[in-house]
Amino acid sequence: MTGGVKEGEFSLSEKIEVPSGLINAIVAGYQLALNKALGAGAAAMTQLLVRDIGDFLEGMLEEIGFELHDIADLKEDIPKAFKMLGISDNVEVEIPSDGEASGSKYIIKIHDSIFKPVARLLEKKGIKFTLSPESFIAAALVRKAIRKVKPDAQVRVKIHPQKSADEPLVIEVIVR
């Protein structure tokens, strides 16, 4: 089923159709379980996930021909990556003037996402969507672009609370 993909590796080049409803159910399930076990502590998992998933994502995006340019190009590169991944066609990016400086904030607004059903379900249950896959992807891209000029740069992610799942998902990526 996984064809040429080596055991223990992840790939985007081999496409297998999986219903988005199933993916959404799995993401929602993890978020609900984590929220039950950790409460507000689930938000801290986001920081760990950015570190652990970031490296995988970088390699996977390269594999499907995505090319990340310089920090200034993130405004175009981030929406392009979301489109190539089939997650959203409508992404806005605000780049700070001093992009790699510590404390700089990148704002990424995702208007329509395939993960919106998860956001809707969590909104009904009054749970914050801290495991948003969009946030890991955005953070991984920002981190990679910054590391071209500042190799040891770290980033933190903050997901703005949404009043409604129909509002854009606003992700803040902060450079450390």
Partner 1 sequence: MSTPIQRILGEMTRSPGVVAVFIVSKEGFIIEKASTGTLTIDEDAFAAMLTTVYGATTQLGEELQIGKPETTTLEYPGHYILVHDLGENLLAILADKSRAVLGRLRYELRKQAPRISGAL
Q: Where on the chain is the footprint of partner 1 (CB under 8 A)?
A: 36-48, 51, 154, 156, 158
Residues 141 and 157 sit within 8 Å (Cβ to Cβ): no
| 111: three-class secondary structure by DSSP | strand
- How far apart are CB 53 and partner 1 at their closest, in Å? 14
- How far apart are CB 50 and partner 1 at their closest, in Å? 9
- Identify which of residues 42 and 85 has a Cβ nearer to partner 1 in the complex: 42
* 175 backbone φψ class: left, alpha, beta (φ>0; ψ -120 to 50): beta
- How far apart are CB 46 and partner 1 at their closest, in Å? 7
- Identify which of residues 47 and 162 has a Cβ nearer to partner 1 in the complex: 47
- Identify which of residues 61 and 175 has a Cβ nearer to partner 1 in the complex: 175
- H or E element: which one contains 25? helix 20-38
Q: How far is the C-alpha of 45 from the C-alpha of 156, rounded, in Å?
A: 11
- How far apart are CB 52 and partner 1 at their closest, in Å? 10
Query: In what side-by-side order are the strands of the sheet with 155-159?
Result: 90-94, 105-112, 169-175, 155-159
- Identify which of residues 51 and 120 has a Cβ nearer to partner 1 in the complex: 51
